[in-house]
Chains A and B, each alone.
Chain A
């Protein structure tokens, strides 16, 4: 390589070095080199390792095994008197078990679906043959406060925090809550006993 003139010599010198460093015979002018590949591979491995390390750190915040283990309870329905409700604690949340009067059932079944914000017939919210018992999670679907029993404009519940009104089927009728009170998964294990969860 001719080395005449300091600047030109330097430039040419750099090119020569990079060709030598390639080791793959492709020479300068090709954009992707073996070194680029090593950089990308090493970077990708580091990112992958980082994500693998981060996942347990994120996942540890999900419910632990002992928390998940507390997922079912049984309840004796004879404890509820007609026209009253019993509040039980399930998964840290209140569950309302309400023994509805015939008038309340009538009110719930006769409401047209068009009058509802989150339309759902009463029949879908109870178990057939057990119309008198309504089981709902006692947590307002707005921001989670516990609604007050037998209050509000529709005879069901009224949430004191931001003023949501629920009817005797636990359906949202007025106020900021977007959906009906949630009916948890439950089943009758005898005529007077339910298992929630």
Chain B
């Protein structure tokens, strides 16, 4: 909160000396005493969890870079050496590899929470846009990192994804050669991907700082979605510490249990067996699939019969997130008070899972095995191709049609005047009347 006044009083001599030169202790103390909406639920703990994920990825990544060799001749072997010979290397690599998945689980829940409680709406548009930038950088970083072990999936994933850029009219081909550093994916590509994979997490860190700066300027949203009235600040908020440090801490422990479950009991559950085969530029694996967190976007790519159209739709699926603050026409932020929108949101959730499921299937495979169907344009109706198209249509319709339309048409439920009012003042005035 921007109007939060500093209550920090330096006590020791060193603190006083430091406070007039670099008030870093004051900064930390002010952060801890920040007035925070008292009704934050556990969906609001993912910000802290994501910060932890970023730190884990950076720390384990720096350590892995001490042993990894970004060269096509040695990359695969150096990863195997990390797994077999480097002291504790297996643990560090499994934490880093599964950490990427954990990072995406957390970021998707964080984004869905923002979507449900209207955290993107004024005055928080910049927070949301910065978050979208972070999400895009995360996807780029994860893709670059997945190429580094130089297995079959690494190589062919890089081949397919870089080819997306080649679909751009006119400049696509020179751009592709420029990006790869040669006519095909080769040593030059691997080397630069390693360099960029090391760089991007620090860029993400920088954007996270801006994300938090914007958050503490506009103020945190809360499950009611209302802006806390100035005169109710004392009743509606609690200091960040100890109330929310403890809440975040508890959520982090639960999250780390899930994390450990993957690292220690099923470290390869989210990976692909094909990536244990060294990269071979002459043989494509029979079934290429990206990592689970990219599957919905991969499904959208395949849904469009035109190459460049598919690429536009895939990037559009991320691009549309940036303009949500202006697509939502509702005056109420939280879907807690938007019964109609809530239904569309639940369908959206199912659609996202459905797209993820379709992304992992062969496009020509039948959705209902054995059910007879007919050709519709370029594919059988009973195929993942057409299911994916249906789901893709809803994905875009949710943002571009439903969001502006429902916002204008629906009658929201009465919204409380403050967070504490329904509890301390005996209910919402509109309901009493």
Contact = CB atoms under 8 A, between A and B. Distances in A.
Contact of B181 (A62, A142, A144): A62
A59 to B, nearest CB: 9
Interface in B144-174: 156, 159-160, 162-164, 166
B182 A91 contact: yes
A92 B307 contact: no
Contacts of B363: 162-163
With a 10 A CB-CB cut-off, give which of B164, B183, B188 has the most chain A CB atoms: B183
B310 A67 contact: no
A93 B310 contact: no
A161 B160 contact: yes
A161 B188 contact: no
A143 B181 contact: no
B160 A62 contact: no
A195 interface: no
A139 B192 CA distance: 23
B137 interface: no
A145 B181 contact: no
Given A143-B163, A145-B160, A163-B363, A63 B284 contact: no
A142 B184 CA distance: 15
B294 interface: no
Given A67-B188, A163-B364, A145 B159 contact: yes
B13 interface: no
Nearest to A59: B178
A58 B286 CA distance: 36
Contact of B284 (A93, A145, A163, A177): A145
A64 interface: yes
A97 to B, nearest CB: 13
A58 B174 CA distance: 13
B159 A92 contact: no
Given A67-B188, A145-B160, A146-B284, A178 B182 contact: no
Given A64-B188, A145-B159, A145-B160, A160 B310 contact: no
A146 B285 CA distance: 9
A135 to B, nearest CB: 16
Interface string B271-302: 00000000001111111100000000000001
Nearest to A68: B182
Interface of B is mostly: loop
Interface residues of A, number: 26
Interface string B184-200: 11101000100000000
B281 A144 contact: no
B188 A63 contact: yes
Contact of A62 (B177, B281, B306): B177
Contacts of A178: 306-307
A154 to B, nearest CB: 16
Interface of A is mostly: loop
With a 10 A CB-CB cut-off, give which of A87, A89, A161 has the most chain B CB atoms: A161
A52 interface: no
A93 to B, nearest CB: 5
A94 interface: yes
Contacts of A91: 182-184
A160 B159 contact: no
A83 interface: no
B182 A63 contact: yes
Contacts of B164: 143
Contacts of A48: none
With a 10 A CB-CB cut-off, give which of B281, B284, B307 has the most chain A CB atoms: B284
A115 interface: no
Contacts of A61: 178-179, 181, 192
Given A160-B284, A178-B307, A143 B159 contact: yes
Given A94-B281, A162-B302, A163-B363, A64 B181 contact: yes
B305 interface: yes
A107 to B, nearest CB: 23
15 contacts: A67-B181, A89-B281, A92-B182, A92-B183, A92-B186, A92-B281, A93-B183, A143-B163, A159-B284, A161-B288, A162-B302, A162-B363, A163-B364, A178-B306, A178-B307
In the A-B complex, the 5 residue pairs with the smallest Cβ-Cβ separation, listed nearest first, are A92-B184, A91-B183, A145-B284, A143-B163, A143-B160
Given A142-B163, A144-B163, A161-B160, 8 more contacts: A63-B183, A64-B188, A94-B282, A143-B159, A144-B166, A161-B284, A176-B305, A176-B307
Interface of B: 156, 159-160, 162-164, 166, 177-179, 181-186, 188, 192, 281-288, 302, 305-307, 310, 362-364
